[in-house]
Amino acid sequence: MRIGPPLCFLIFGANALLVVACSGPQSALSPAGEEAERIAQLFWWMTAGALVIWVAVVGISIYTTVGKSGPYSPTAATKVLIIGGGALLPTLILALLLAYGLSLLPQLAAPAPEGSLRIAVSGEQWWWRVSYLQPGEDAATVELANEIHLPVGEPVEFRLESPDVIHSFWIPSLGGKIDMIPGRVTRLALTPTKTGVFRGTCAEYCGTAHALMSFYVVVEEKETFDRWLARQQAPALEPTGSLASRGQTLFLANGCGACHTIRGTPANGVVGPDLTHFGSRLSVGAGILANSPEALLRWIAHTEQVKPGVLMPSFDMLPEEDLEAMTAYLEGLQ
């Protein structure tokens, strides 16, 4: 089927509208960070360059098919249409875009200033271990999972690694992506410019649950962030109510403390996520479920069904009342 010029313009216009509509907490075209703004600018310049080339090629096609009925001279056909429109114009535009893109690399690869907030992130199978580091040291002051809090307007350095397979750390609204390679530590500097809740993801296929490996980034005012960090440094709250107290007993009796840490309790496992303040987090299972009692109960009972390939076993052998008690305890860890 031959596609005429009007249909070409219609298809291009529809695609342009789809691109403009790309927004939300996981969109690189809705920047909320200095690095993401530079990447978005590069995208729009590349789009403009592609548009110029497209208009030139389609314009030449229209001109040669309907613009003239007689034959073309060798000069017009060779020098103007083929060499000028088909070679020189695309080469010039692509060269300018390449030079502009390369000029951004030093800015995007620049390290965070000395004294910046430092966060270590480890890509696990299939979740994210997040550790806030003390200034000038590698010791963690706070460890949590699948959620990152940042102060707006301040640079942060991410130290990224993986103990198993290659992952790729990406927060589209804040900046570019970078690989997490076993045996190496890579660094990424980002500066958020807008408050809000954004979504990050693994951008490198890493195994069975790759598509179910996300996390949330909460960007807030400096004072709010400082209060949050102080609360995270405190040990877990004691359970309130008989149901939550029973849930704590069941949590420890069923061996959950062998994999998970809850500071202030005998649970000191290091295999799975730290659950000290689990109840205050936004999601369950690395961003795949909202943190609600119903979702948490489903996660504990049917873990392997909710997230195939996950290393945590399902506890569907426990009675319903035991699962509800454990859920009440974990939700109370604010």
**What is the residue range of 85's domain?**
5-108
Looking at 198, 216, 234, the residue that finishes a domain is 216
Nearest to 16 by CA among 44, 39, 53, 58: 44
100 in the same domain as 152: no
Cα distances from 282 to residues 77, 93, 199, 217, 286, in angstroms, run 63, 45, 11, 10, 10
101 in the same domain as 36: yes
pLDDT digits (tens, 9 = 90+) for 176-216: 999 999 999 999 999 999 999 999 999 999 999 999 999 99
What pLDDT, on a 0 to 100 scale, did the predictor assign at position 28?
Answer: 83
What pLDDT, on a 0 to 100 scale, did the predictor assign at position 26?
Answer: 81
158 in the same domain as 122: yes
Count the residues in the chain.
Answer: 334
102 in the same domain as 137: no
Looking at 108, 127, 151, the residue that finishes a domain is 108
Arithmetic mean of pLDDT over the chain = 88
Q: What one-character-per-residue DSSP string does 276-307 give?
A: TTGGGSSEETTTTEES-HHHHHHHHHSHHHHS
325 in the same domain as 254: yes
- Angle (nearest 5°) at CA 137 between 134 and 140: 50
pTM value is: 0.85
323 in the same domain as 252: yes
207 in the same domain as 260: no
- Residue 82 and residue 76: Cα distance in Å, rounded? 9
Radius of gyration of the chain (CA): 26
Residue 112 DSSP SS3: coil
Domain count of the chain? 3
**Ranges of the chain whose pLDDT falls below 70:** 1-23, 67-80
What pLDDT, on a 0 to 100 scale, did the predictor assign at position 3?
Answer: 47
pLDDT digits (tens, 9 = 90+) for 244-295: 999 999 999 999 999 999 999 999 999 999 999 999 999 999 999 999 999 9
